[in-house]
Structure 1
């Protein structure tokens, strides 16, 4: 646990990019009626929920929030908010669980970086800017079906579209300039490994290590390349193996 805590601090403090992917929500349901709610610490704080509507169909709603005071090289408040929803199909047998979700979300982030489309207004330099974006994702997951501990692999694919940026160069005396860059959405490959283990009753712990890899090496915004998350989940199905 100490190693996980140190890794979380290092990942969270290592950089301040604009695009912060959410932790992959991997419910690993077994049957209709199961509900899962999670509180997660990652690059910010996250809340995730999921519900098995039928024996094979499930829905999820996820949200993330980050507020961080930055003093160097410029004083500003780094922020990020994101909300998404998804629907998916799942199937479980005696040894394994398989699921696939698709969804859509909206977010906004403020960070300090250089954006070529602000050069005509503020010159060629790093500056504080806010970007608004949408994301479409497809997330398959392949997991175990054990009593005590489960691992799952989720090779998520996300299409990220930053449609609008605004900045006044962090100077209240200047007008805020809003730009809609002529850029296409960027595709990200976001694989992750998730572990789940029982705590007490219907509470379980979870951890996740994920990568975020752009399909196009020339992205015009910064992103988190490596993520570690740790959290607590309420799961009405716990980790018990269903009898088939």
Structure 2
């Protein structure tokens, strides 16, 4: 039952998040690599339509590479609480890659990963008058990002019983620190001063084994901006729901 309450909280969390920032964080990738030749792949999305495709590969027993592509193309005429006064469109495309170290701890019952990397992308926000359907405000620019991330998880599976069967699950935590810059920034078509920010994104994640190596993954956490910024701030949810597959790992599974 505590697990079900936690899952319900995860589903409601994105409804509390705002959407006024030009930065939509992709979900922190947690491949949980354990040995050479293992690979991980996943796809995640959320209620803001921020979707990410991710992959990682262990090139040695302690060295891994990972990459992801995320995109958001939304045309919002209504909010969860009713009609909006203005129509909003959001276009956000972002790619990132990283290199890192992984190891097994506590008699192979834990996995620790440390990754560093960079990302690039483009972002645009437009707001339209409901009466005239012409843009009343546009914001656009390019994003550059440098990040450092630490993942820590338990490989010991627990389970909960529902729908007449046991569902094995594992869980863990991650912390990502990112330095993001908004360059070539244009407000209503006119050049505007660039912005930058430092984001801290602590998350927790739970993986439920559905069938074989196929796992359902839920990510929830917070997003903190260490600098006060108007257009590049921590206003968007890091909640994600997705599917993850790991193959070639220790004992064939996590």
In the alignment, is residue 107 of structure 1 matched against residue 154 of structure 2?
Answer: no
Counterpart residue number, 2:22: 18
**Partner secondary structure for residue 232 of structure 2:** coil
Which residue is 2:62 aligned to? 56
RMSD: 2.6
TM-score of the superposition, structure 2-length normalised? 0.77
Q: Which residue of 2 aligns with 1:77?
A: 89
Question: Whole-Å Cα distance in 2 between the matches of residues 214 and 48 of structure 1?
Answer: 24
Equivalent residues in 2 for 1:5-154, closer than 5 Å: 6-7=11-12, 10=15, 14-42=18-46, 43=48, 44-71=50-77, 72-93=84-105, 94-112=108-126, 127-147=137-157, 148-154=168-174
Compared with structure 1, are the counterparts of its residues 38 and 182 closer, same or farther at alpha carbon in structure 2 (3 Å cutoff)? closer
- 1:70 positional shift: 3.0
- Given that 1:37 and 1:49 are in contact with CA atoms closer than 8 Å, whether structure 2 keeps it comes out as yes
Selected match of 1:155 from 150, 175, 199: 175
SS of structure 1 residue aligned to 2:138: strand
* Matched residue, 2:133: none
Q: Is the Cα contact below 8 Å between 2:91 and 2:125 reproduced in 1? A: yes
Distance in 2 (CA, whole Å) between partners of 1:180 and 1:53 is: 43
Distance 1:35 1:182, change over 3 A: closer
Q: Unaligned regions of 5+ residues in structure 1, if any?
A: 114-125, 170-175
Number of equivalences: 220
Partner of 1:172: none
- Which runs of 5 or more residues in structure 2 are unaligned? 78-83, 128-135, 158-167
Q: What is the CA-CA distance between 1:84 and the residue it aligns to? A: 0.4
What SS class does the counterpart of residue 227 from structure 1 fall into? Answer: coil
Distance in 2, Cα, partners of 1:140 & 1:5? 21
Find the partner of 1:211 among 208, 214, 222.
222
Q: Partner residue of 1:166?
A: 186
Q: Deviations over 1:135-185 (max 9, x none)?
A: 100001111122442222111100011111234x3xxxxxx43x26254x3
